Structure 1
Amino acid sequence: MRDLTLFAATALLGLAAASPSSSTLGLLNYNGVALGDWESAYDKASAFVGNLTTEQKLALITGSSVTSATNESFSALVFADGDMGLQDFNYVSAFSLASAIAMTWDQDAYYEQAKAVGIEFYKKGIQVLNAPTSQPIGRTPWGGRFGETFGPDPYLNGLATGLAVKGYVDTGVISGAKHFLLYEQETNRTNDPSSIGPNPASGPLPYSSNTDDKTLHETYLWPFYDAVKNGLGAVMCAMTKVNNTLACQNSDLLLKHLKTELGFPGLVYPDTKAQSTETAETVNNGEDYGDSTYWSTSVMKALLANGTLSEARLNDMTIRNVIGYYYSNLDNGLQPAEQGDGAFVDVRGNHSKLIRKYGAQSMALLKNKNNALPLKTVRRMSIFGAHAGATVAGPNQDLSIDGSGPTYQGHLATGSGSGLASFPYLVTPLVPLTVKATEDGTILNWILKDNYTSTAGSSLIPSVSGSTAVSPSYETYAGNSDVCLVFLNALSGEGEDRTELYNADQDKMVNTVADNCNNTIVVINTVGPRLLDQWIEHENVTAVLYGSLLGQESGNSIVDVLYGDVNPSGRLIYSIPKNESDYNVGLCYTSQCNFTEGVYLDYRYFDAHNITTRYPFGHGLSYTSFSYSNLTILKETPRIPASPTGNLTVGGYSDLWDTVNSISVTINNTGSLSGAEIPQLYLSFPSSADQPLRQLRGFERVDLATGEQKTVTFNLRRRDISYWNVVEQQWLVAAGEYKVYVGASSRDFKLHGSFMVRTHV
């Protein structure tokens, strides 16, 4: 790496243990990494590459099909977005956004949705799925792609990322996790004014994310450990810089950390516009797959001839391009041929049921005054807000990567840019609400515009008269209703960051309705944190149901929760503060973006500064109630080596994944309805580890019938009690007291205890 900033002078200095020479750093079978269950794939890949000519190797690493001297063929890998399902295809499903599935806090859901997505990619003949999107991790709530990720907590993000990778791999496709690394906003993300995303008129772009070594490891690298451990076959490097070196030619990121420290055996490929024209630096510093515009045969042969590119590195690049193919068993010849985006091959199966189920499970009940929800039989109901119904034309809209938002005038159920899904259909809330009204005999009114003003007799509102005529205004509709449902959304996406965390028109609508309706229920679907304090304490706002973007079954998922067919169990994956000014990280408008906040994002920052949030990380209510009891810590004084002693493997040192302690609690459903609780384990470290006040280190979804109780066990891995030591360049365990907190959110603790770690060499 070159041009390290002074800010990062203590960062990214490599591994303390003996490491390969610079000429072999990061090369498979030279980096000291035990390949484990990748060994067979490596042997097959090596044998295949050994029978290729130099020209064939160069063709393969630039996306061409080749046939070896032994007549073994390799078809060029087909890459495609995205996390929510295939884009621009017919007969595919539109799944929940990653931030939505994360809000289920359900490890089975993380795996099962990814598996369903992977099945559709596999059956359409796609080999590499550009997912999961671990990052942007959500450093700032104004980041445009916040909704595409699993959230700013490294533990939750890592668990979800790892399970998503496993889900994809188990279907036979290669997972291409992104974006590596520290790509946290859209503004200034590229140096090409004709490219995607906003740019200023001048400056050394793209922006550089400058961070220290501790922050890099404990926040941003953390989820990629999980991904690599679970079978990650490809990594998309970001178009931005890290410590003033482009991510796709950053030897510290790609060679030292990803390929050696994490033991990653797969290929590194560039995001759009991320490949540098500095060919020698990209090929030698870790990028394995590139565009032949830059990596032409003549240029690459010249680098080989003058010794700039070694034969060993070219072989390594080629092996890395095919090892995931063998690891995912794509060489078995069973995958269907690639289907064009217009092909009418239905690959959806029963995925609509899964989408509806997990969409409902992801919705978090933030407020429920006087048990306003679930709804019973309603005499008169009014619905407000464009988010309740369909757009004028749809459902597939061109939500551009040049930016979308800040709200959407229709029901918002997918993202934009790379986070966009292809809807086979879209169920808006108005549809199932109308069905419920017909079943219950409810009188149903609606105004589907966020800034509506009444003009009776216009083409929008025809003039009517008679005994049932009502002036179509917020005030009159709300005043004549037993229940008022107000639907809000917030949109952003690839190419443009957010400009607001609340919306004046929407908030005015909520307050106007609540001023006239004493049972106002607000439903929100948003790409990221949406502030509520403009109306949350209004005495007539009785309930708030909050979630991300839910895919094709969105309306059904929402109404399932509103009417109690599903008991809500979603939890926030970020805090909701009271004010925008409560956040410590905004957008960076210069080319040098210094991550001076370190590891203190979201609840870790709010806890450190004792800031009262409106709703804390992990919060979510239920229609029933639960009790916690019987906290049991298996080992009160475990003896653990300070440094890892295992072999360096795929996923890091092997003993990082060993269970070193277990904590158990009993959860009892004390209410009158069946439901699911999400007990959460938080850990405080000894002061010598220099860690935040508390950190999430375990959670489980527990389904309980009325009166039922279950014991939940949290297994702490060595890495869960480790911190990154910048001097030793290693994950170390600090000796001392570890405090344990178990509860329903990051600030609602039901039980607590501690254990004392003794370290030894």
Structure 2
Amino acid sequence: MQTLPYLDPTLPIERRIDDALARMTTAEKIALIHAQSKFSSPGVKRLGIPELWMTDGPHGIRPEVLWDEWEQAGWTNDSCVAFPALTALAATWNSALSQAYGKALGEEARWRNKSVVLGPGVNIARTPLNGRNFEYMGEDPYLAARMVVPYIYGVQSNGVATSLKHFALNNHELNRHTTNVRVSDRALREIYLPAFEAAVREGKTWTVMGAYNLYRDQHLCHNQYLLNDVLKREWNYDGVVVSDWGGTHNTDEAVRHGLDLEFGTWTNGLYAGASNAYDSYYLARPYADAIAAGRYGTDELDDKVRRVLRLTYRTEMRTDRPRGAMCSEEHYAVARAVGNEAIVLLKNDKNILPLPADARNLLVVGENAIKMMTVGGGSSSLKAQREVLPLDGLRARFGADRVRFERGYVGDVTGEYNGVVTGQDLRDDRSPERLMADAVAAARQADYVLFVGGLNKSAGQDCEDSDRAGLALPYGQDALIAALAKANPRTIVLNISGNPVAMPWKNDVAAILQVWMLGSEAGHSMADVISGDANPSGKLPFTSYAALDQCGAHALGAYPGQKRADSEIWDVDYKEDIFVGYRWVDRQRLQPNFPFGHGLSYTTFAYGRLQLPQAKSVAVPTASAPLRVSVPIANTGTRAGQEVVQVYVRELRPKVDRPERELKAFRKVMLQPGERQILTFDLDETAFRYYDDKQQQWVVNAGEFEIQIGSSSRDIRTKAKIRLQ
């Protein structure tokens, strides 16, 4: 029996799409481009084209929800491995580890029969108040680009699509549905689009999710310029644009301005004046009626259907799709490896860390040492099969009899999100004063104090749909840390957060670790680093500000924007333009708590002299003829360790305003004690260019540039000049 062309796996996908499209009715085409439930679209049952099933999230596979509701379905086999959040992944600066992370996550999605993982997110950390920064990859577009591409490779190797989000300019959560971003073309191209472009052009992501906010007064789930002009035409994107849930607002714009697949418009799914609420979606009956009335042809519809079919052939109808795996020990090992490399050693006075093997009298203080962090935070909330808490990880490593605990403060004792509950009882009836007094008294008797605090995933902290009120730690933690440090000079702070915090106690404590939301293996990773079983190698993917006005958006009063008179719309002007993160603090000569790219080790590294071509003047480099630079690096300490060697570029006499330095390359290298390697980096024209608003194109000026290589954006170890002809 001859196989129909659209079902023949030996034929090219585009040939199969042509055949399937020719067999479909208009009603079947319309059904294909909008949801049939909270997280699925229907396919074409008559033709045997299967459903597509979406799942949150970027760092773990969300538990099953009811057909038409956000609440959990009550399954007992939908637990997952919770991987470290994406800001932690970015802090590893390890692209190979990013691919391993993506592959493991994709295997979990595949085992659960998911077609699309709704992630990763690469929105730039413009403000440290953004409640969703923990889901993104930091403040630098180059770092985010290099980390997101291998993640996509890893996930999609399983026949599971990624959904790159949130495209674009979704840089804070406050008023997220009504914020209209006004930004220069230059900042858009240099800061906010590069990671998305790399994910599309290099990573080949199969879906892209629109953002809730507006740009040029159009919602970004149906935005002519970004979706049609840039994404689909300029970047030649052949995949599907998916709306964020509830992000569609208008049939005409959804039809004409780039949206392909609509989800979440009526989130209860039960009533909207029709027998089937999903028929009331903007790309459902209203679209079909408009076609029947002659207001639209079918060209736009056929393009949307082609894209959805292409996604289906790449995922559900791919015959060689792996089976996947769920909650395997290999996945837990990946989560632990990422956690170990993500932790950033910010400060280590007198090499107090790692703790000696015979350390016996350890005091752990802080609610985050005992609070589950996998539940909450918004759509990325998970039902983890297991979560090793920091206190448990430290006791397992050092011995339960050596590690005491004091609460110190009470923050959020709840533990529930959409029906997933932690089952923890974190209530404590002591007053804040009593809690602090008890912790300080215990600190005086301890050999070492490990304060485990920071943010949690409650509203107003690291959480979707809300932003932080400021940089200070909540629940009186800053005062508690200061009191502990006064009582015991061997106080070590482990800050769990996806954002910078103010750290007024920075000079009073002996050591500081930036720990992140590390997921299932959090406690083990913290214990590995504290004990020295793992040598910390993480680097900050953002600037750690000492005060909010060190951030350009806040210094210029450009957050959260200005509400229009007689309108729900908030206009926010990105007044800092290209000067985001370290670009701003460098320009203003500010001293943050810790700079972008900073991170210490338990060993030391020596950098040799930067080597450039012998010629002092060279042609503008290209991908095929790059500028090759090299630098020797040696491990001069007594432990094996990894260093992230960072390459920055500065134009010395620019014709337009340019940053003091911009990250243009990096590499993470493992060195044994006494080992020396020469690292080589190839820089093409993208390392030297800027975007010219007037010409609407990228420009490289002839002139002198400085290549800087160092251990952070403020720790430049070697530099040299080169002239471009």
Aligning the two structures, in what range does the TM-score lie when normalised by the shorter sequence? 0.7 to 0.9
Residue 435 to residue 729, structure 1, CA distance change in 2 (3 Å)? same
Residue 335 to residue 102, structure 1, CA distance change in 2 (3 Å)? same
* Alignment partner of 1:57 is 2:29: yes
* In structure 1, distance between residues paired with 2:541 and 2:111: 32
Give the fraction of aligned pairs with identical amino acids, expressed as a percent.
29
Alignment TM-score, normalising by the size of structure 2: 0.84
Structure 1 counterpart of 2:581, from 602, 620, 625: 602
Equivalent residue letter for 2:61: L
Pairwise CA distance, 1:715: 2.3
Residue-by-residue CA offset, 1:99-147 (whole Å, 9 max, x unaligned): 0111111111211111111111111110111111112x21111111011
Could you say what secondary structure the match of 2:628 adopts? strand
**1:121 matched residue in structure 2:** 109
**2:600 matched residue in structure 1:** 621
The answer (yes or no) to whether the contact 1:123–1:347 under 8 Å persists in 2 is no
Equivalent residue letter for 1:351: H
**1:444 matched residue in structure 2:** 403
Structure 2 counterpart of 1:85, from 60, 65, 80: 60
* Alignment partner of 1:522 is 2:488: no
Equivalent residue letter for 2:507: E
Residue-by-residue CA offset, 1:232-276 (whole Å, 9 max, x unaligned): 111111111112111122101111111111221111111111111
Could you say what secondary structure the match of 1:703 adopts? strand
* In structure 2, distance between residues paired with 1:522 and 1:66: 52
Which fold has the larger relative contact order, with Cα–Cα distance below 8 Å and residues 6 or more apart in sequence? 1
Structure 2 counterpart of 1:362, from 321, 325, 342: 342
Equivalent residue letter for 1:665: V
Residue 294 to residue 40, structure 1, CA distance change in 2 (3 Å)? same
Could you say what secondary structure the match of 1:553 adopts? helix
Residue-by-residue CA offset, 1:395-441 (whole Å, 9 max, x unaligned): xxxxxxxxxxxxxxx253566112222211111121132234438xx
Residue-by-residue CA offset, 1:316-348 (whole Å, 9 max, x unaligned): 1111112233345842174669xxxxxxx8453
* In structure 2, distance between residues paired with 1:364 and 1:519: 19
The answer (yes or no) to whether the contact 2:315–2:321 under 8 Å persists in 1 is no
**2:71 matched residue in structure 1:** none
Pairwise CA distance, 1:451: 5.7
The answer (yes or no) to whether the contact 2:354–2:529 under 8 Å persists in 1 is yes
Equivalent residue letter for 1:725: D
Structure 2 counterpart of 1:147, from 130, 134, 146: 134
Residue-by-residue CA offset, 1:549-577 (whole Å, 9 max, x unaligned): 10011011001000100000011111112
After the TM superposition, which residues 626-645 of structure 1 pair with which residues of structure 2 at under 5 Å, given as runs? 626-634=605-613, 636-640=616-620
**2:213 matched residue in structure 1:** 240
* In structure 1, distance between residues paired with 2:125 and 2:601: 27
Pairwise CA distance, 1:522: 0.9
Residue-by-residue CA offset, 1:65-123 (whole Å, 9 max, x unaligned): 4449xx75211211111011111152421110000111111111211111111111111
The answer (yes or no) to whether the contact 2:397–2:527 under 8 Å persists in 1 is no
The answer (yes or no) to whether the contact 2:57–2:118 under 8 Å persists in 1 is yes
* In structure 1, distance between residues paired with 2:675 and 2:208: 44
Q: Which moved more, 1:502-511 or 1:242-251?
A: 502-511
* In structure 1, distance between residues paired with 2:484 and 2:630: 46
* In structure 2, distance between residues paired with 1:732 and 1:52: 47
The answer (yes or no) to whether the contact 1:83–1:419 under 8 Å persists in 2 is yes
* Alignment partner of 1:423 is 2:353: no
Equivalent residue letter for 1:474: A
Structure 2 counterpart of 1:542, from 510, 513, 534: 510
After the TM superposition, which residues 478-517 of structure 1 pair with which residues of structure 2 at under 5 Å, given as runs? 478-491=443-456, 492-503=462-473, 505-517=476-488
Equivalent residue letter for 1:499: A
**2:224 matched residue in structure 1:** 251
Residue 305 to residue 717, structure 1, CA distance change in 2 (3 Å)? farther
The answer (yes or no) to whether the contact 2:262–2:283 under 8 Å persists in 1 is no
Residue 450 to residue 239, structure 1, CA distance change in 2 (3 Å)? same
**1:475 matched residue in structure 2:** 440
Q: Which moved more, 1:419-428 or 1:350-359?
A: 419-428
The answer (yes or no) to whether the contact 1:214–1:725 under 8 Å persists in 2 is yes
**1:274 matched residue in structure 2:** 247
Structure 2 counterpart of 1:694, from 629, 637, 661: 661
Pairwise CA distance, 1:356: 1.0
* In structure 2, distance between residues paired with 1:44 and 1:716: 41
After the TM superposition, which residues 565-584 of structure 1 pair with which residues of structure 2 at under 5 Å, given as runs? 565-584=533-552
* In structure 1, distance between residues paired with 2:611 and 2:720: 8
After the TM superposition, which residues 224-373 of structure 1 pair with which residues of structure 2 at under 5 Å, given as runs? 224-229=196-201, 230-276=203-249, 278-290=250-262, 292-295=279-282, 298-305=285-292, 307-327=294-314, 330-332=317-319, 334=321, 346-373=326-353
Residue-by-residue CA offset, 1:264-296 (whole Å, 9 max, x unaligned): 1111111111111x2122111111112542346
Pairwise CA distance, 1:307: 5.0
Equivalent residue letter for 2:100: E
The answer (yes or no) to whether the contact 1:386–1:487 under 8 Å persists in 2 is yes
* Alignment partner of 1:562 is 2:530: yes
* In structure 2, distance between residues paired with 1:438 and 1:76: 51
Mark the runs of 5 or more structure 2 residues left unpaired by the alignment. Answer: 1-10, 36-40, 65-77, 264-278, 412-426, 431-435, 457-461, 564-569
The answer (yes or no) to whether the contact 2:85–2:134 under 8 Å persists in 1 is yes
Pairwise CA distance, 1:363: 0.5
Structure 2 counterpart of 1:717, from 644, 659, 684: 684
Residue-by-residue CA offset, 1:664-707 (whole Å, 9 max, x unaligned): 11110000111011110001135135421210011111000000
**2:182 matched residue in structure 1:** 210
Residue 325 to residue 738, structure 1, CA distance change in 2 (3 Å)? farther
After the TM superposition, which residues 114-193 of structure 1 pair with which residues of structure 2 at under 5 Å, given as runs? 114-135=102-123, 137-190=124-177
Equivalent residue letter for 1:494: E
Equivalent residue letter for 2:700: V
Structure 1 counterpart of 2:51, from 71, 76, 82: 76
The answer (yes or no) to whether the contact 1:486–1:523 under 8 Å persists in 2 is yes
Could you say what secondary structure the match of 1:426 adopts? coil
Could you say what secondary structure the match of 1:332 adopts? coil
* In structure 2, distance between residues paired with 1:460 and 1:176: 42
Mark the runs of 5 or more structure 1 residues left unpaired by the alignment. Answer: 1-38, 191-205, 338-344, 390-409, 453-458, 463-470, 642-654
Equivalent residue letter for 1:577: Y
RMSD (CA atoms)? 2.5
Equivalent residue letter for 2:170: Y
How many residues of Structure 1 are paired with residues of Structure 2 in the alignment?
A: 641
Residue 349 to residue 556, structure 1, CA distance change in 2 (3 Å)? closer
* In structure 1, distance between residues paired with 2:388 and 2:704: 52
The answer (yes or no) to whether the contact 1:585–1:597 under 8 Å persists in 2 is yes
* In structure 1, distance between residues paired with 2:536 and 2:444: 28
* In structure 2, distance between residues paired with 1:438 and 1:297: 61
Q: Which moved more, 1:487-496 or 1:744-753?
A: 487-496
Residue 76 to residue 584, structure 1, CA distance change in 2 (3 Å)? same
Pairwise CA distance, 1:518: 2.2
Residue 242 to residue 658, structure 1, CA distance change in 2 (3 Å)? farther
Residue 264 to residue 515, structure 1, CA distance change in 2 (3 Å)? same
Alignment TM-score, normalising by the size of structure 1: 0.80
The answer (yes or no) to whether the contact 2:31–2:42 under 8 Å persists in 1 is yes
Pairwise CA distance, 1:297: 5.3
* Alignment partner of 1:669 is 2:640: no
The answer (yes or no) to whether the contact 1:658–1:718 under 8 Å persists in 2 is no
